């Protein structure tokens, strides 16, 4: 550092500067003339730890469509059973289905692909898409019991049964 008393000349009033011994420079007070400065982050202990945390969230975004089957069967029950895969396409980006015999499937396939692109392409990275059409069996059984008309549904490959108007409300007791 330049001596503050002699302004770096080494002399003061035509005499040798006593502060810098005539050299015109002084030792650094920050490093104490060792050319080593103490880290302000760890105070010279060497234990500063920095890190960047990255959180990756994997998510499946699902679009489901069940065509109208014109019955009073609750379609949310289909989620609990399996059916037979009729069509599966799995790629990085899938195209919509266009040649399926049921027009509502084609239309909803187009809607699903467009909705997925517009909703997720700007904020997420799409790694893979799957487009599948599954046939879920549904059978309505109508019957007469004690002169009244009743019905029930058998659905899925598991042959689950659903009815909302079972005629017999109590159980039989064995004595």
Rg of the chain taking only CA atoms, in angstroms: 41
Residue 3, helix vs strand vs coil: coil
How high is the pLDDT of residue 34? 67
Q: Which two tokens stand for residue 155?
A: 């659905």
| Intra-chain end-to-end CA distance of the chain, in Å | 109
pLDDT of residue 111: 93
Mean pLDDT, residues 123-146: 89
Tokens of 60: 């499946």
Q: What is the pLDDT of residues 75-86, one digit of tens each?
A: 889 989 999 999
For residue 11, what are the CA distances in angstroms to 21, 27, 78, 158?
A: 9, 17, 98, 104
Position 29 pLDDT exceeds 80:
no
Mean pLDDT on 95-99 = 92
Select the more confidently predicted residue: 144 or 45.
144
Q: Identify the weakest region by mean pLDDT among 81-95, 117-131, 157-171.
A: 157-171
Confidence class for position 155, pLDDT limits 50, 70, 90: very high
Q: Token pair of 99, please?
A: 């040649």
């Amino acid at each position: 550092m330049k001596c503050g008393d002699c302004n770096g000349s080494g002399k003061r009033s035509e005499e040798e500067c006593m502060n810098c011994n005539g050299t015109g420079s002084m030792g650094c007070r920050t490093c104490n003339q060792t050319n080593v400065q103490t880290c302000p982050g760890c105070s010279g202990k060497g234990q500063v730890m920095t890190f960047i945390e990255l959180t990756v969230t994997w998510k499946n975004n699902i679009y489901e469509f069940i065509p109208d089957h014109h019955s009073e069967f609750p379609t949310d029950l289909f989620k609990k059973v399996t059916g037979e895969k009729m069509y599966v396409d799995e790629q990085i980006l899938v195209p919509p289905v266009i040649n399926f015999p049921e027009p509502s499937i084609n239309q909803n396939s187009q809607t699903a692909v467009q909705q997925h692109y517009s909703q997720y392409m700007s904020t997420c990275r799409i790694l893979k898409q799957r487009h599948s059409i599954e046939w879920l069996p549904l059978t309505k059984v109508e019957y007469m019991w004690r002169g009244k008309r009743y019905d029930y549904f058998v659905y899925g490959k598991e042959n689950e049964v659903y009815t909302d108007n079972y005629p017999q409300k109590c159980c039989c007791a064995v004595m």
